[in-house]
Homo-oligomer: A and B are copies of this chain.
């Protein structure tokens, strides 16, 4: 049983009435809620960060854990072209965690929150056998303008921001710039808004589970396939880390063929990696070969 299978099964059971204020639900980076009269659609996303699954206290300091808990949620807001509006945090803590740990955790979270206007609005606290964080992020996007996964068409060009494989390299080596990339991913909020407003991206999502699985999801949602080639590798990262390593939190997006995409946005490289093809829904080819979706699926691999 994979995460995708659980979600497919769940999607079939969830039915909203016609007058529901929900515009978008399970299956994109964020849900979309449209309040009566509101100028903006509200993007909503939740992300778990769990000790033993997503991090270890031996390698991750509390400041980094707080940063990453929020960065994961903000990256989802970024991927739909939204502006951060608020966050809520549910935090489960074992008895051996002290005030200093908690202070440092919140320092990491609040610093990133302030930088992006993701004001902490509330949450929950509870005892838990393992450190458990669940972040809720709310974002605003002009009514009907959110970037979705399902808008890619044949001939669209595929781009990624930044470089790939850095987080996987950092996890493997725990050294240098790659380590920082793993511990302190930077959500691409301004870039997401630029993709929406200026480049009129046809589809977008963030790279949280690895390019091979995430691009497959975008293609699946859009009813298309993809042909990709040379990737922008993080210095020192392998092709495998760039294709299948997760947690890069860069943006993957498509634009109409011929769109003039600059080589970078505020210092972040934007690299064309391939093209959308008709048919073979959900398939991805790399250098002409079919690519296995080896990215991270929580329910396919047990955590080590």
Contact = CB atoms under 8 A, between A and B. Distances in A.
B40 A119 contact: no
Nearest to A122: B31
A59 interface: no
A10 B10 CA distance: 36
* Band of interface residues on A: 35 or more
Contacts of A39: 35-37
Given A44-B136, A122-B31, A302 B37 contact: no
B46 A136 contact: yes
Interface in A39-96: 39-40, 42, 44-48, 50, 52-54, 85-86, 88-90, 92-93, 95
B7 A125 contact: yes
Contacts of A303: 127
A292 interface: no
Interface of A: 1, 3, 6-7, 9-10, 13-14, 16-17, 20-22, 25-26, 28, 30-31, 33, 35-40, 42, 44-48, 50, 52-54, 85-86, 88-90, 92-93, 95, 98-99, 102-103, 106, 110, 119-130, 132, 134, 136, 138, 140, 298-299, 302-303
Nearest to A136: B136
Contact of A53 (B25, B85, B121, B126): B126
Contacts of A86: 21-22, 31, 33, 44
